[in-house]
Amino acid sequence: MDFLTTNAPILIVAIPLVAAFIIPLLGQKGDGVRNGFTLTIFGLTSFLVAVLAVNVHDVGIRIYAFGAAAADLAVPQGFIVPVRIIFEVDAMSMFMGIIVTTVTLAALIYSLHFLKGQTGQARFYSLMMLLYVGMMGLAFTGDMFNLFVFLEIASISGAALAAYRTNLADAVEGGFKYIVISAISALLVLFAIGILYSEYNVLSIAAIAHFIQYTHLDMIALGLLGAAFAMKLAGVPLHMWAPDTYTVAPAGSTPMILAASYMSMYALYRVTFTIYGGFIDTGAIGWAVIIVGLLSMFVGVMMAVHQTDIKRMMAYHAISQGGYMLLGLGVGLAVIANPAALEAYGRDAMNGGIFHIINHVFYKALLFMAAEAIFFRIGTRDTNKMGGLARNMKWTTGFYIIGALAIAGIPPFNGFASKLLIYESVLKFNPILAIVAMFVSLVTLASFAKVFYSAFTGPPMPAHKEVKEVPKSMIVGMSILAVLIIFFGLFPGLIVDTIVAPATNALISHASYINAVMGAVP
Amino acid sequence: MLTKIVRTVANQLILFILIFGLYVIAHGHLTPGGGFQGGAVVVSGIVMLLVAFNSKELKKSIRERVLSVMESTGALVFAALAFAGLGTVFFYNFLVGSPIFGDIPPTGPNPGNLWTGGYIPIMNYAVGLKVIAGLSAVVLALALFASGEEMEE
Amino acid sequence: MQSVPANFPFLASALLIGIAFYIILFKRNLIKLIMGIAMLASGVNLFIVALGYRAGGNAPIYTNVPPGPMVLSVPQALTLTSIVINVAVLALMLTMVIHIYRHTGDVDSEKSRKLKG
């Protein structure tokens, strides 16, 4: 057990990676063997994530240095800078890791029945494992160049998954847009890494944060990193790829590509709070994040209202809800140099923003899965052609109702808790922002109610009178998320104290992140 | 299919390209080179064969099942070597000082001893195998795809 | 080599990145878009290798190297990794363009779009 706890950061990333290469070999023996193997490996990985989460909650920051004489020996004997590749797991990394693991578990169980009849199924599961490895590596990395490598792994796997149904023309187009945007953004990240390396001659995040002086070149690097991560997380005005890609991705891969966007958001926060955190004394960087958040909220929901394709509407809502997270963290970033304001409302804003990440990923994944369930039975995503589905697809209707009420912020579901935190704290910062946020929430509820009335109630369409409910594995996958949504909604205080507040502390106190690697080096 | 001269020359040259590629892979820990670079040289030789002969002709000689097994073998050897050091830390170079590739290299400029490096030369071979199999599968699949066929599953 | 300014590799890299952004933003053919991304990758790789240069340095290997200072070796490793990743990305993009051509018969980005709004 001690062995598992010490080596957990690398086993979580290495075991699914090896499994991704074994799955095509096993797939030649049969579907059941392959599915059983995938679920076993993923169960083991989820157990390791739970072990590591408990450990990080008790101990604080965990380090893993590759190839050293001991796992936590980040700076070798006689050196003053860390020269090895390091994984550094703090509370914010663990928070994102928990989100990604839960969504992947639900998506895997959901996809078991969905792919019957498709060719190349072994590659689908391999790609899902590779996407999981990319996202967890992005969460755990303590090294700027490893951030680039895992970002590219996640992008390539995500694009291949989005274009999986190559017999449809629009699927390949959605995947192509995703890979083009990801390639350009990753090259900009590499350029910024080159600039930072040329100045300070170290690559690990803690060491750069220790040595950084805020020169002009560093500001250029921050601008490049901000633009690159804004492209990846679909913030307006760089959001054009998101509706196309989220619409065409099959089965359980849409929640995972969604989670990959929020891992890019985590990378943005890691860079701004940890590396540049000591130099933010005006509110300029915070206001930049707030403005991108406001634009995303507003443009996302306005474009979503008049969509007829159900998944495209949900994709625009994903852009809009991403704006809430940027708003919350942006307010925290704007007041980070001001201790009085930070204690009054900055921490609550950051708690609200971070809590909203996990809430949003859960209810958006549930909504996407419900929409794909409808597509599985009917074969169309156009809401004008759907009607009266509530008679025959009771479980799917129930899950859609849970998701829609959660996204609109109705108690007792989890959206209410995080949105209330954001409203209260942002109101004290600047009232106009809170008013825009509440207006966006109203329009969100309106658009989901419109789709509910047209698709689920009313007389059934003559072509679809005989639809049945979706298979059991899909219902099990969706119900995992629904149970978590209701649980988070009923006990928000418990969740905030256990996993959200430590994450906020980890982001604000960048000194502890640096000291974990550099020791007490002056 | 190009003319008989091109085909004959390609048949003779592929041997030298293969030897040079394997040399670059094997000496990766001493001179510039290594797994990916040597693998790319060998794949450029295969692209030369693809241009000289038809892609359909080449598909008869290079079977897709062999490429898939080669690729997985390369990946699993690399992963096994990385996991084998888990007694200390992941990726620990446990072969330094042991009888396999275990000599300690002298410092400063020296003529280069091939038997040094720990598990790095073995990882070079594994990565080179994987790159040869992977890139030639990609190149072969693109050529077949553009000419209208598919590779078998 | 006194007539070549010391910043020449950085100027070349900036020129490559500038041309690449022009191609990506203003050209409509999908194959040209892929070429633009390859050119952007070349520009960034050149930038990273060029920033490791130290005046009068030799190659960073020990086999039969003349004595003296060496250039930095970490940027060369970063560039190799970046080249490998870009090979995979370009292969994926080319395959997708072949699929798009098969479905819509055109590689012009205005005429082969299906998802709008």
Task: Specify if B30 maps to a domain.
Answer: yes
Interface of A with C (CB under 8 A): 145, 148-149, 152, 155-156, 159-160, 163, 166, 169-170, 172-176, 179-180, 182-184, 186-187, 190-191, 193-194, 197-198, 203, 243-244, 247-248, 307, 312
Task: Specify if A413 maps to a domain.
Answer: yes
Cα distance between residue C95 and residue C106, in whole Å: 15
The number of folded domains in chain C is: 1
Task: Specify if B65 maps to a domain.
Answer: yes
Tokens at A56, concatenated: 């990080």
The number of folded domains in chain B is: 1
Give the per-residue pLDDT at A344: 77
Interface test with C, best of B24, B27, B30, B147 (most C CBs within 10 A): B30
Domain of residue A464 covers 280-490
Q: Which residues of A196-221 are buried (b: 16+ CB within 10 A; e: fewer)?
A: bbbbbebbbbbbbbbebeeeeebeeb
Please give the helix or strand (H or E) that residue A365 lies within, else none.
Answer: helix A347-378
User: Of the ranges A334-338, A461-465, B104-108, which one carries the lowest mean pLDDT score?
Assistant: A461-465
Task: Specify if A464 maps to a domain.
Answer: yes
Give B86's contacts in chain A (Cβ within 8 Å). 7
Task: Specify if A237 maps to a domain.
Answer: no
Q: Is C29 helix (H, G, I), strand (E, B) or coil?
A: strand
Amino acid residing at A270 = R
Task: Specify if A103 maps to a domain.
Answer: no
Residue C65 near chain B (CB below 8 Å): yes
Model confidence pLDDT, tens digit, residues A196-229 = 999 998 898 988 988 888 888 898 999 999 999 9
Domain of residue C72 covers 8-104
Tokens at C23, concatenated: 């191609």
Give the per-residue pLDDT at A374: 85
Cross-chain Cβ contact B145/C98 below 8 Å:
yes
Which of the given ranges, A173-177, A418-422, A448-452, C44-48, has the highest pLDDT on average? C44-48
Task: Specify if A447 maps to a domain.
Answer: yes
Cα distance between residue B43 and residue B41, in whole Å: 5
Global model pTM greater than 0.90: yes
Beta bridge partners of A62: A89
What's the angle, vertex CA A420, arms to CA A418 and CA A425, rounded to 5?
100
Task: Specify if A160 maps to a domain.
Answer: no
Cα distance between residue A286 and residue A333, in whole Å: 5
Task: Specify if C115 maps to a domain.
Answer: no
Task: Specify if A208 maps to a domain.
Answer: no
Cross-chain Cβ contact C96/A179 below 8 Å:
yes
Q: pLDDT tier at B153 (50, 70, 90 boundaries)? A: very low
Residues sharing a CB contact under 8 Å with residue B99, sequence separation 6 or more, in sequence order: none
The answer to whether residues A252 and A369 touch, using CB atoms and an 8 Å cutoff, is yes
Domain of residue B56 covers 4-146
DSSP-assigned letter for residue A143: B
Q: pLDDT tier at A66 (50, 70, 90 boundaries)? A: confident
Tokens at A425, concatenated: 């704290």
First to last CA, chain B: 26
Q: Is A62 helix (H, G, I), strand (E, B) or coil?
A: strand
Task: Specify if B69 maps to a domain.
Answer: yes
Average pLDDT over residues A478-482: 89
Give B108's contacts in chain C (Cβ within 8 Å). 62
The answer to whether residues B59 and B144 touch, using CB atoms and an 8 Å cutoff, is yes
Higher-confidence position of C37 and A121: C37
Provide, rounded to the nearest whole percent, the portion of chain A with pLDDT above 70: 98
Model confidence pLDDT, tens digit, residues B110-148 = 888 888 888 899 999 999 999 999 999 999 888 887 776
Give the per-residue pLDDT at A342: 79
The number of folded domains in chain A is: 1
Place of tokens 């990193």: A225
What's the angle, vertex CA A43, arms to CA A507 and CA A473, rounded to 5?
110
